[in-house]
Amino acid sequence: MNEHLSALTESLSKKTGAKLSDIQEVLHKLGVNPPEDYIAFLLESNGAEGFMKGGRYLMLDSVEQLVPCNEPYGLGHLGPGLVSFGSDGGTKLFAFDIRESIPKIVEVDSTCMEMGPIIFRGRTLREFLEKLNKTTE
């Protein structure tokens, strides 16, 4: 993991990294091609949880949680075009918007994922974490 991601996630409780083959299998099943730094993060920490420096709570799902967390919404392109990879521990989900050729990271309300407002949070994990760290909503 690069030093920027390490600094942005230093306050989070991290887990042991995942195997690349497990990551690739799950991402293929979900139909998502995430940013490279997200995969690098999973290789170093298979999920993470805690308060960001800016005060927001963040839960990043482990590889094993990705499919079960997305099944209720439909997987990949069969669902709303959003693939959840974490949350704020409450009703806000963080997801890859896979309706475009280059996925973007968005924030949505889990109670109305398909119809609620979609807030753009970045194109890379680093950009997402930087924006999340600046917001306290």
What's the predicted TM-score (pTM) here? Answer: 0.89
Q: Give the mean pLDDT of 15-21.
A: 97
Confidence tier at 2 by pLDDT (50, 70, 90): confident
pLDDT for residue 114 is more than 90: no
Catalogue the E-assigned strands of 1-137.
13-14, 48-51, 57-60, 82-87, 92-97, 104-109, 119-122
Domain limits for position 129 = 3-134
pLDDT for residue 78 is more than 70: no
Helix, strand, coil % in the chain, rounded to nearest 5: 40, 25, 40
Q: Which long-range contacts (CB under 8 A, 24 or more apart) does 16-20 make?
A: 16/45, 16/46, 17/42, 17/43, 17/44, 17/45, 17/46, 18/42, 18/43, 18/46, 18/62, 18/63
The CATH number linked to 17 is 3.40.1580.10
Mean pLDDT of the chain: 89
Give me the number of domains the chain comprises: 1
pLDDT for residue 106 is more than 90: yes
Q: Give the mean pLDDT of 89-97.
A: 92
